Amino acid sequence: MNPRARLLLAMAPFAFCVGWMGGEAPLKTDWTWSFEAGYEAQGFSTNPITPSLQLGSSPVFAPPENGGGLVMNGDLEVLIVAERAADVIDLLPREALTASAWVAIERPQRWGGILSCIQDNGEYEKGFVLGYDDQVFTFGLSTTGTDDGDGRMSYFRGQTAYQPGAWHHVAASFDGKTTRIYVDGKLDFESTLQNGEVLYDLDAPVVIGAYRDKDENYPLDGRLREVRLESRAMSASQVEKEARSRPTLSASEPWTDMEFGYLVEPYLTWPRLDGVSILFESTFPSEGSVGLWRDDSTHGVEIEYEDEAVSGLHEFFIEDLEPNQKYFYQTKIIGLEGEAIESEVLSFRTAATADRAYTFAVIGDTQTNGEVAKRVSDLAYMHRPNFIVHAGDLVDTGSVKRDWTDTFFPSMQPLLGRVPIIPVLGNHEQDAKLYYDYMSLPDPERWYSAVYGNAEFFMIDGNRSLAQQSDQLKWLEGALKKSTATWRFAVLHQPPYTSDSNDYGDTLKETSTRGDMNVRNIVALLEQYGVDVCFSGHVHDYERTFPIRAGKVTPYEEGGVIYVTAAGGGGSLEDFDPTNTWFGHKKSRYHHFVYVAIHGTQLEFQAIDEEGRLFDVLTLNKRGSKR
């Protein structure tokens, strides 16, 4: 037993037992942070470092029967070990390390941190981070062996999915040559990509319960029982013993401090003459119901819709209603223990028949910027449009549930509770299952057409092939051919024509294709079947082209199609080609939405920025119709 281990015995007998009980040499545990009923830090250093809870918040511990643990809610500040790695640099592992923890992840997220000392800013990548993503545990590491001058980090992912709310033991080890991730005592990942010594950034903070560097902070939403950082690579058997050492913890039921309620408030998709789709989600499995009644008391109908399945997400396909009619509705969720929560009384209008006047708003690329998206959607709602068209990139990462539940849906309320949406897939949706779960749309959902009033919308998946003979192009041709609508709109995420600066070639230095070449394949069909306007997103700015036909600017009356990029819903703004393009008409670099009002053969079009300022207008008299 070396003197250091003896000191550990006095301070943290448990940590000592891990190595000793198995007959192996005791571990040189450098730091152990325990979060029992109160948290405490233990260390070898003559200057032990105690993490301090920021914001003066009083720590909350989970019930003992669920294994206790310090509750971190994602919004709490992290536990700081050192503001700067420089303050503890002699104590940080270099040649080898093991970072391990007993942790429960309550809500998955894309970048989650458990213990980190990292600076990752573009090409500059140094340090390490034990963390998790929306499915598995992860370990990021930058070493001298792969250093390209400013560090090169590898983000390793384990393979075993963690169970949200349940305790797991996770360990990441590095012995100078091999990096390993262990989950619940079993080897989950191995790589020799990183080698040499750990490369640190002296200004990076050392934190527990977050992935945090100078630019980013992703705090843990979950629980911590213990976090350790050691200056050697634990062996597989040592990790296994550690993971087995707390059987009651491993066996305890998952726990959450989330309360029963609406995870996603009621929202509407796909307006139809005889109904709409109403969706909402509860935090836990529930029975759902929708009560619905007409606002016209002389013809009042009250209908109660019941859900068959018990799950969190409820989707009601409402039908048998009258067109052009306002309805009230109210949703209810009933939890497994009988607790019931009603929504406020909401309302919607069924789709307009072809003889009616109507309006809609086009929003694109709401993405990750909830604040801007909320401003834009609130302004759109102020206009009380009949429905919303979304040009894709609703969220930043389609597979990350929190992007939907915490960013997209909250930022689109109160709009979507009253005004139904018809969206298309952006690249950021990643074709993820969550998109299809959250959207109720005509089959096959990834592409579809929707009729509203005297207009038909051809909703296209620009991420999928539109080449000649592709399924989607064949569908589009068939749908256009049989359309009888006065107004025809194509909607797809990637723009067939754009004056953007660098998405399709760096216009500062080289040539550009001036648009996405896959979606350019639809142009001939749009021209052939008299489409009026094609709406896109993707390039985060606003553009309205001159009408285009056969690769030339052509008057709208002579069949030119107008291309509108309306990608100003929140994503960081992009810029334009420094020189005008042959089709470039109106361009603006504002967050914005587009507002369209149609009555018969007359169309009014406005573009409105996030402050409510009108910056583009257009009126169209449907080509071929009499004035």
Residue that the structure tokens 């909320």 belong to = 374
The nearest distance, CB 493 to Fe ion, in angstroms, is 6
Are the beta carbons of 537 and 365 closer than 8 angstroms? yes
The nearest distance, CB 215 to Fe ion, in angstroms, is 20
Residue 538 within binding range of Fe ion, rule CB under 5 A:
yes
Q: Cis check for the bond before 444: say yes or no (omega within 30 of 0).
A: yes
The nearest distance, CB 390 to Fe ion, in angstroms, is 12
Q: Coil, strand or helix: which one is 356?
A: coil
Q: In this chain, which stretch among 35-43, 78-86, 212-220, 531-539 interacts with Fe ion, using CB under 5 A?
A: 531-539
The nearest distance, CB 430 to Fe ion, in angstroms, is 11
Tokens read off for 141: 């590491």
Tokens read off for 288: 């759902």
CA distances from 507 to 496, 499, 543, 565 (A): 17, 9, 16, 18
Q: Which of 393/541 has CB closer to Fe ion?
A: 393
The nearest distance, CB 439 to Fe ion, in angstroms, is 17
Q: In this chain, which stretch among 80-88, 371-379, 421-429, 473-481 interacts with Fe ion, using CB under 5 A?
A: 421-429
Buried b or exposed e, range 548-564, using 16+ CB within 10 angstroms = bbeeeebebeebbbbbb
Q: Which of 88/380 has CB closer to Fe ion?
A: 380
Contact pick of 427, 430, 512, 602 for Fe ion (by CB under 5 A)? 427
Tokens read off for 567: 């990608």
Q: In this chain, which stretch among 115-123, 170-178, 357-365, 465-473 interacts with Fe ion, using CB under 5 A?
A: 357-365
Are the beta carbons of 421 and 381 closer than 8 angstroms? no
Q: Which of 314/538 has CB closer to Fe ion?
A: 538
Contact pick of 120, 221, 230, 393 for Fe ion (by CB under 5 A)? 393
Are the beta carbons of 105 and 69 closer than 8 angstroms? no
The nearest distance, CB 427 to Fe ion, in angstroms, is 4
Q: Which of 184/365 has CB closer to Fe ion?
A: 365
Nearest to 101 by CA among 197, 151, 164, 172: 172
Alpha-helix runs per DSSP H in 464-522:
471-482
The nearest distance, CB 538 to Fe ion, in angstroms, is 4
Q: Which of 168/493 has CB closer to Fe ion?
A: 493
Task: Show the binding pattern over residues 438-457: x = contacts Fe ion (CB under 5 A), - = does not.
Answer: --------------------
The nearest distance, CB 463 to Fe ion, in angstroms, is 9
Residue that the structure tokens 């703004």 belong to = 573
Buried b or exposed e, range 38-67, using 16+ CB within 10 angstroms = ebebbbbeeeebebebeeeeeeebbeeebb
Residue 426 within binding range of Fe ion, rule CB under 5 A:
yes
Q: Which of 152/538 has CB closer to Fe ion?
A: 538
Q: Which of 343/397 has CB closer to Fe ion?
A: 397
Residue 570 within binding range of Fe ion, rule CB under 5 A:
no
Rounded CA gap, 37 and 619, in Å? 68
CA distances from 32 to 10, 21, 182, 206 (A): 13, 18, 18, 14
The nearest distance, CB 569 to Fe ion, in angstroms, is 9
Q: Which of 134/500 has CB closer to Fe ion?
A: 500
Q: Which of 365/543 has CB closer to Fe ion?
A: 365
Residue 571 within binding range of Fe ion, rule CB under 5 A:
yes
Residue 151 within binding range of Fe ion, rule CB under 5 A:
no
Which residues are at the interface with Fe ion (CB under 5 A)?
A: 365, 393, 426-427, 538, 571
